[in-house]
Amino acid sequence: MQGASRESLGHLRDSLAEQTGGVRSDALQQLSEQLFSVVTLFAGQGSLRRAISDPALETDRKVGLVDNLLGSHLAGPALELVRAAARQRWSEPGDVVDALESLAVEAALQRAESDGVLDEVEDELFRFERVVASQPQLRAALTDRNLPAERKSRLVRQLLEGKVSEVSLALIERGVLAPRGRTIERVLEDFTELAAKRRERLIARVTSTVELSDEQQAALSEALRREFDRDIRLQLVVDPELVGGLTVRIGDELIDGSVLRHLGAARRRLTGR
């Protein structure tokens, strides 16, 4: 997301904070669910998302369109946020859908934070992503276009209900049923990064040939914290076929073993050289 869309998303996040300050957990759940329903509607209706994001269309007309379509279906906070989205400028029609999905996820994560389970949600999303990536049969079932959504939902709930938080279950189910052109793994990564952002920290996806010891993890985390000047949360993946010790991915930036040399002592401790 670039330019006007990035700025608009920032305004919407401010609006979300205003709408949700001090609200209860159940209200945040409702807000998240209703925003996800709008995402589904806009994602499936190209003419609608183009109209909502059309800079040539008067703002009042776009807001009126939102009211006519959704006014009787959404609670106050959700309706106000969709109205706010209609007032913003968007670089691409799809950006308004991405922005509303981000708000839906953030409302769910705010619920997790209110319930004191935000760290657990972050870990549970990551763990399920790794399960999907490592089990081809499960992945095939969850991505089978011929398998009805009800059966996919039932499968997710059979696997996870009672084992993860309600927020994690809702987000995972959403990622499976409505990936919007992304892999399930990519969707869950996106959701996990938003969880980390609430903690004002970065996620470092660390892939190594062997498991890192606690000491190695601490050394790598500290080295990355100094490098990026942000708190770092490691997510560890073991891949015996990896060539070259380890890789670290933070957002779109990939750091391989050759680049880690500028981290000096931390790299020497990790590689034993």
Q: Are 94 and 180 in contact (CB under 8 A)?
A: no
Q: What is the pLDDT of residues 85-108, one digit of tens each?
A: 999 999 999 999 999 999 999 999
User: How far is residue 84 CA from its own chain's centroid?
Assistant: 21
DSSP three-state, residue 181: coil
Domain extents in the chain: 1-115, 116-198, 201-271
- Interval 184-188 mean pLDDT: 94
Q: In whole angstroms, give the CA distance from residue 40 to residue 219.
A: 43
User: What's the pLDDT at 27?
Assistant: 92
Q: What is the pTM of this model?
A: 0.76
Closest CA to 166 of 112, 104, 119: 112
User: What's the pLDDT at 23?
Assistant: 79
Rg (CA), the chain: 20
Structure tokens belonging to residue 131: 């399960």
Q: How many residues does the chain have?
A: 273
Query: Hey, which of 15-19, 26-30, 218-222 has the most confident mean pLDDT?
Result: 26-30
User: What's the pLDDT at 242?
Assistant: 67
Q: In whole angstroms, give the CA distance from residue 195 to residue 257.
A: 27
Q: What confidence tier does 265 reach under pLDDT thresholds 50, 70, 90?
A: very low
- Residue 38, pLDDT above cutoff 60: yes
User: What's the pLDDT at 261?
Assistant: 43
Q: What confidence tier does 175 reach under pLDDT thresholds 50, 70, 90?
A: very high
What CA–CA distances, in Å, run from 56 to 3, 50, 59, 60? Answer: 18, 11, 9, 12
Q: What confidence tier does 207 reach under pLDDT thresholds 50, 70, 90?
A: confident
Angle between helices 93-115 and 166-177 (to 10 degrees): 160
Give counts: helices (H), strands (E), the chain: 13, 4
Query: Hey, which of 114-123, 134-143, 240-249 has the most confident mean pLDDT?
Result: 134-143
- Residue 14, pLDDT above cutoff 50: yes
Q: Does domain 201-271 have CATH number 3.40.30?
A: yes
